[in-house]
Structure 1
Amino acid sequence: MQQFTLFFVVHLTALFASTACIDYDGFLNMKLEHSLNCNDEKFCHRGSITLKSIRTGVPIIDQILFNEKHLEALKKLANEDEFYSIKTTITTGENSKGTEYLSSVKAQAFLENGLSDVINAWILPNGAVIAVNFQVANSTQPLKQATNEYKLNSKFYLRYIEQAPVPDTASYIQKMERDREAREKGEMKDNRSFLAKYWMYIVPVAIFVMISGATNPEASAPAGR
């Protein structure tokens, strides 16, 4: 089957941070499979996306052309209001075994959008991919036909995610331990006020007095003449 290679420059628009937050650089390979016209197999080859450098972010997208059988199978899914499913296997220099991600779009939406989709890979500063999702735009585009085959039009985006700051629990525990040892040795002076020191004893007594006064109003009233 004829194949074609498309080159897309990744729009390095970060979700929470810029590319400067990427600590790791290396290759990224995405094997694309779909559940369409696969005979007895659940998933079969659709294409691949390769990045030689995550930081430079220039991918090579290589995908098959859809033929009439693909189109018929997709129309059948659309008529049944079913999903067109895609499996992505990610391999990197740190993960040669690969990690699989599943994503789906409505077959009708994919068909109406002229076999055009958007592929997003969500990546952490250490270069680890944590999610891959496919989506289609809310628009209607004609199918781009080349003889008896149809082109897949894919746009690829890297989405960089900045990790939230991690609390320094170890330093906090060490500080508490030092404070405890200082109190045991008598090195720390308690400069709190009298109320701050003994409020846990004063409050119950005050509550008891208030309750006693409320339950015995006659005892506190002056005697009548």
Structure 2
Amino acid sequence: MQSRLVSILCFYFLGLFNYATCIDYDGWLNIKIEHSINCNTEKYCSRGNISLKSIRAGAGAIIDQIPFTKEHIDELKSLAEIDGFYTIRTVVTSADNTRGTDFLSSVKAGSFIANGLTDVINAWVLPNGAVTAVSFQVTNSSQPMQKGSNGFKINSSFYLRYVEQAPVPDTASYIQKLEREREAREKGELKDNRSFLAKYWMYIVPIAIFVMISGATNPEPAGQGAR
């Protein structure tokens, strides 16, 4: 039983390694986390930061977050009373994107409190290293909030999700093929091997419909009875 478990774990981590190595680009990644509670006059204020040295490795992320104060909890509870949402904004920067890209994500404030401020942050990465989305969700931990000397602790987990791009159709080659076929038909070099019906169905069908309609509207007179 133990050897089987070891084999399964080895297969799992090998699959993760092979999947991660499909990333064409490697470099650092930084995600600034902001939220919309207890921000005074600002719409969003700092909640913490996630830094990653290697996108390809996808591990070893450093999560540094500011503990919640009583004011944070009170505002969360006020949102929970009206079934409101707790929103975070993530600003993603990397070696190739120093200007930063913003992503918004929301969860029910009541659910965030009920699960002890425990959440999961996922960053979705393309093979070229570009982050296409950052999602924020609450885990079903049902654990109480942990209060320390500095405030209430936020329990976050961070994961990189590698996205495989779908194959892109070669539109340019297809257009060139159509253009060559058109030029060949104009020069008479391309033979039309279609059958007679395939070539002229647009003429045959209207005639057939006309004949059918004429036969239905003008039935032959019934034969006279014998005298």
Structure-1-length-normalised TM-score: 0.83
Tell me which of the two structures has the higher relative contact order, counting C-alpha pairs closer than 8 angstroms and 6 or more residues apart. 1
* Structure 1, unaligned runs of 5 or more: 1-10
- What is residue 174 of structure 2 aligned with on the other side? 172
User: Does the C-alpha gap of structure 1 residues 141 and 211 become closer, same or farther in structure 2, counting only changes over 3 Å?
Assistant: same
Q: In structure 2, what residue type is equivalent to 1:138?
A: N
Q: 1:153 to 1:210 in 2, by over 3 A?
A: same
- Tell me what 1:129 maps to: 131
Aligned to 1:120: 122
Q: Which residue of 2 aligns with 1:24?
A: 25
Separation in 2, partners of 1:190, 1:51: 61
Alignment-derived partner of residue 210 in structure 2 = 208
Q: Deviation per CA, 1:19-77, whole angstroms, max 9, x where unpaired?
A: 24322221111011122222332222211001111111121111112233332332333
Q: CA deviation at 1:146?
A: 2.0
Distance 1:202 1:49 in 2: 70
- Counterpart contact for 1:19–1:55, Cα < 8 Å: yes
Alignment partners' CA distance in 1, 2:125 and 2:67 = 29
The structure with the largest helix share of the pair is 2
Q: Call closer, same or farther: CA 1:114–1:200 in 2, change over 3 Å.
A: same
Give the deviation of 1:157 after TM superposition: 1.4
Aligned residue number for residue 9 of structure 2 = none
**Partners of 1:68 and 1:148 within 8 A in 2:** no
Alignment of 1:59-208 (within 5 A): 59-147=61-149, 149-208=151-210
Deviates more, 1:171-180 or 1:73-82: 73-82
Cα deviation digits, residues 93-127 of structure 1 (max 9, x gap): 22111111122222211111111111111222222
Match of 2:54 in 1: 53
* Change in CA separation of 1:48 and 1:222 when aligned onto 2, cut-off 3 Å: same
Question: Using the alignment, how far apart are the partners of 1:80 and 1:202 within structure 2?
Answer: 68
Q: What SS class does the counterpart of residue 184 from structure 1 fall into?
A: helix
Name which of structure 1's ranges 62-71 and 107-116 shifts more when overlaid on structure 2. Answer: 62-71
Look up the match of 2:4.
none
Q: 1:91 to 1:149 in 2, by over 3 A?
A: same
- State the 1:170 CA deviation: 0.9
- 1:224 CA displacement: 5.8
Change (3 A) 1:223 1:28: farther
In 2, distance between residues paired with 1:189 and 1:165?
33
> Matches of 1:101 and 1:127 in 2, distance apart?
16
Give structure 2 stretches of 5+ with no counterpart: 1-11
Give the aligned length. Answer: 211
- Identity, in percent, stands at 67
State the SS of the aligned residue for 1:217.
coil
Change (3 A) 1:223 1:182: farther
Higher strand fraction (1 or 2): 1
Give the aligned residue type for 2:171: T
Q: Which amino acid aligns with 2:25?
A: Y
CA 1:195–1:44 in structure 2 vs 1: closer, same or farther (change >3 Å)?
closer
Shift of 1:192: 2.1
Tell me how far 1:148 sits from its aligned partner.
5.4
Q: Which amino acid aligns with 1:93?
A: A
Give the superposed CA RMSD.
Answer: 2.4
TM-score (norm 2): 0.83
Of residues 17-26 and 171-180 in structure 1, the stretch that sits farther from structure 2 once superposed is 17-26
